[in-house]
Chain A
């Protein structure tokens, strides 16, 4: 599918913005994943009537409370049995699982293996920050060998779990790897994962600056994102395996777009489970998109002219932009 250069703002409809700011630490990567997921949900016409969110325990688990969807915040590690049963009972619903590496690969590891084996028709987004963040920074199942954490002060002696290998042990499963820095890539692979009719797993490398990054030498979240930008490269189109610092999609055997990393020439098939939703969503043509884009850019430009404090109040929704402009004596239609 073509990559979108500029996002529509409809994704905000998928979020409970009145609950913002979120519970996550400043600089956390989870918010970025949530925004990209919300964009995909919006693009695909997925809404509260056709899509269920299932999350596990941990920082990532809180995402369910911010998405405007019916969501189940399961016990620690138990997302997959809950999600699989929901899908069995209501096959017409799209079920998206969002959880961290500890929940998915450690306490829930057995469920992961067997959801893969049964090719459960679910999409799993794994916020892989390589640490137990909510409890302060203990070694997780994906923590690299040698990393110092609160529970491995001399460096993690173990080999991290091979999520790619686990998912690829099934000929039917789709595995995608991306990072929080590569946002458009992330959005595209999340969409591909949701469109995949069988089990799909998106392994999203993300930064936990507070309880991991700073301890291992990063000064800021920006430093970590810069590291991702410089280190992670796109895998070759025909890759059948992703190296440690490669991002891309590995399709199941016999997939039409095998090895093309999201650049399929054919139009992506509509998700099997959301035909009604696709119909229900109003069609947004190019003209409308351009109008919305211009409106959003104009709004952004006007915001830049306000005092930082006033800008914050507008962003929080305490003040409308029009009122702020009036107060500041700025003519919205005048020149900058």
Chain B
């Protein structure tokens, strides 16, 4: 049935379509609708477990516990909450726990601007936790895609045995689109549970899930390997290769608009919707699988364009990765402070394509009192 669906709700419904049966979360704008919908769903579906945790640290660790116990689990938050979850993300990477983290971004750092859209968590997803790991992350640009991509995220989590991130932003999360969820769900395969749940292990061989290095196989299984670099290498590269192989199967992106144009725009999430009126004059590369970088796909198309411009609501986080991978200059149009508008995109493109700086002209601070908003803030 076609129905007006909000981006955040589409993420939740996608999770359920993927077989999710556990949600833990803590209220935070602009992701809170996911928590609200989850609590209502749990009230009507007792097999779906819900926890409103005391903080994001508890939410992240709860979905890890739930996943180990056999549930397909997920949480939703925004940038500041995702910062609190980073240690748990690293734990899930080390232990190999399939689960999904949804980050509906707002302007940061710190408390930032809770109601303004931003895309400042691209690098937090990649490098936020301590140590080395290779995360898989997706970033849809609308409600329909949010639904589909969330299902794919759960599938990738099961196949890679790792926490997979679904990025979103204030606009995508609060966008309402008419979509037919049932029809969409019918076209997507769901990967069943992979990790053997707690207590259903091979008899006589109970497992020890630890964030420290332990031997996993052979006669030493279950014993600490804290002084064995070779064991670290075995486990690290095993996970790295597994994640890369799974990521290859989910190489989702869009290469479109005017492919004969001389300039390639790279943008993702809501920025790709805002910039779409420029479709006649520019080519578009829109990564949906945002991590790991779609390097091969970019290399295959980049040579035909004279210039590459990355437009993103951060100070060039994705552009850095692209530049490094292509070893050529990538111009940047940073849309900062929540100013994600066609005008800002146009101005930025004109500026950088005519050899100007990425930093926009900034007017001096007001000398007169600024009129306060009726809400008394800002």
Seen from chain A, the residues whose Cβ lies within 8 Å of a Cβ on chain B are 16, 19, 23, 48-50, 52, 54, 64-65, 68-75, 78, 80-86, 88-90, 93, 110-111, 113-114
B291 to chain A, nearest CB (A): 23
Interface SS of chain B:
mixed
Q: Is the CB of A86 within 8 A of B222?
A: no
A119 to chain B, nearest CB (A): 13
- Say yes or no for B77: interface residue by CB 8 A criterion: no
Known: A49-B199, A73-B208. A85 touches B62 (CB 8 A): yes
Q: Is the CB of B206 within 8 A of A70?
A: yes
Q: Is the CB of B57 within 8 A of A48?
A: no
Q: Is the CB of A69 within 8 A of B65?
A: no
Q: Is the CB of A89 within 8 A of B206?
A: no
Q: Is the CB of A72 within 8 A of B65?
A: yes
Q: For residue B206, which residues in chain A have a CB less than 8 angstroms away from its CB? A: 48, 68-71
- Say yes or no for B339: interface residue by CB 8 A criterion: no
Q: For residue B201, which residues in chain A have a CB less than 8 angstroms away from its CB? A: 48, 70
Known: A48-B199, A85-B73. A70 touches B210 (CB 8 A): no
Q: For residue A48, which residues in chain B have a CB less than 8 angstroms away from its CB? A: 199, 201, 203-204, 206
Known: A19-B222, A81-B65, A82-B62. A89 touches B54 (CB 8 A): no
Q: For residue A23, which residues in chain B have a CB less than 8 angstroms away from its CB? A: 224
Q: Which of A49, A52, A85 has the most CB of B within 10 A?
A: A85
Known: A89-B71, A93-B199, A111-B58. A71 touches B208 (CB 8 A): yes
A-B contact pairs, 15 of them (CB 8 A): A23-B224, A48-B199, A52-B199, A65-B210, A70-B199, A71-B209, A72-B65, A75-B88, A78-B57, A80-B58, A81-B53, A81-B61, A83-B65, A84-B65, A85-B66
- Say yes or no for B125: interface residue by CB 8 A criterion: no
Q: Is the CB of A65 within 8 A of B198?
A: no
Known: A65-B222, A82-B65. A70 touches B198 (CB 8 A): yes
Q: Mark B65-88, 1 if CB is under 8 A from A, else 0.
A: 110111101000000000000011
Q: Is the CB of A90 within 8 A of B210?
A: no
User: Which residues, 28 to 86 on B, are CB-close (under 8 Å) to A?
Assistant: 49, 51, 53-55, 57-59, 61-66, 68-71, 73
- Say yes or no for B356: interface residue by CB 8 A criterion: no
How many residues on the B side are at the interface (Cβ–Cβ under 8 A)?
Answer: 42
Shortest Cβ distance from B66 into A: residue = A85
Q: For residue B197, which residues in chain A have a CB less than 8 angstroms away from its CB? A: 90
* Pick from A49, A70, A75, A88: contact of B87, CB under 8 Å: A75
* Pick from B55, B69, B204: contact of A110, CB under 8 Å: B55
User: Which residues, 129 to 176 on B, are CB-close (under 8 Å) to A?
Assistant: none
Q: Is the CB of A89 within 8 A of B69?
A: yes
A225 to B210, CA, bound (A): 32
Q: Report how many A-B pairs have Cβ atoms within 8 Å.
A: 123
Shortest Cβ distance from B201 into A: residue = A70
Q: For residue A78, which residues in chain B have a CB less than 8 angstroms away from its CB? A: 57-58, 61, 88
A95 to chain B, nearest CB (A): 9
Q: Is the CB of B58 within 8 A of A114?
A: yes
- Say yes or no for B212: interface residue by CB 8 A criterion: yes
Q: Is the CB of A89 within 8 A of B22?
A: yes
A19 to B214, CA, bound (A): 13
Known: A86-B198, A90-B199. A75 touches B54 (CB 8 A): no
Q: Is the CB of A73 within 8 A of B22?
A: no
A78 to B84, CA, bound (A): 13
Shortest Cβ distance from A117 into B: residue = B54
* Pick from A52, A68, A73, A75: contact of B61, CB under 8 Å: A75
User: Which residues, 168 to 218 on B, are CB-close (under 8 Å) to A?
Assistant: 197-199, 201, 203-204, 206-212, 214
Q: For residue B68, which residues in chain A have a CB less than 8 angstroms away from its CB? A: 72, 82, 86
Shortest Cβ distance from A57 into B: residue = B211
Shortest Cβ distance from A49 into B: residue = B199
Q: For residue A49, which residues in chain B have a CB less than 8 angstroms away from its CB? A: 199, 203
B200 to chain A, nearest CB (A): 8
- Say yes or no for B268: interface residue by CB 8 A criterion: no
B47 to chain A, nearest CB (A): 10
A86 to B67, CA, bound (A): 8
Q: Is the CB of A73 within 8 A of B209?
A: yes
- Since A78-B61, A81-B53, A85-B51 are in contact, a sample of 14 more A-B pairs with Cβ atoms closer than 8 Å, ordered by chain A residue number, is A48-B203, A48-B204, A49-B203, A68-B206, A73-B212, A82-B64, A82-B68, A85-B61, A85-B69, A88-B49, A89-B66, A90-B198, A111-B58, A114-B53
A280 to B21, CA, bound (A): 30
Q: Is the CB of A50 within 8 A of B199?
A: yes
Q: Is the CB of B211 within 8 A of A88?
A: no
Q: Is the CB of B211 within 8 A of A73?
A: yes
Q: For residue A93, which residues in chain B have a CB less than 8 angstroms away from its CB? A: 69, 198-199
B334 to chain A, nearest CB (A): 34
A50 to B49, CA, bound (A): 20
Shortest Cβ distance from A120 into B: residue = B51
A110 to B26, CA, bound (A): 14
Q: For residue B62, which residues in chain A have a CB less than 8 angstroms away from its CB? A: 81-82, 84-85
Q: For residue B100, which residues in chain A have a CB less than 8 angstroms away from its CB? A: none
A114 to B22, CA, bound (A): 19
Q: For residue B285, which residues in chain A have a CB less than 8 angstroms away from its CB? A: none
A111 to B71, CA, bound (A): 21
- Say yes or no for B266: interface residue by CB 8 A criterion: no
Q: For residue A73, which residues in chain B have a CB less than 8 angstroms away from its CB? A: 208-212
A168 to chain B, nearest CB (A): 19
A111 to B55, CA, bound (A): 9
* Pick from B57, B66, B199: contact of A88, CB under 8 Å: B66
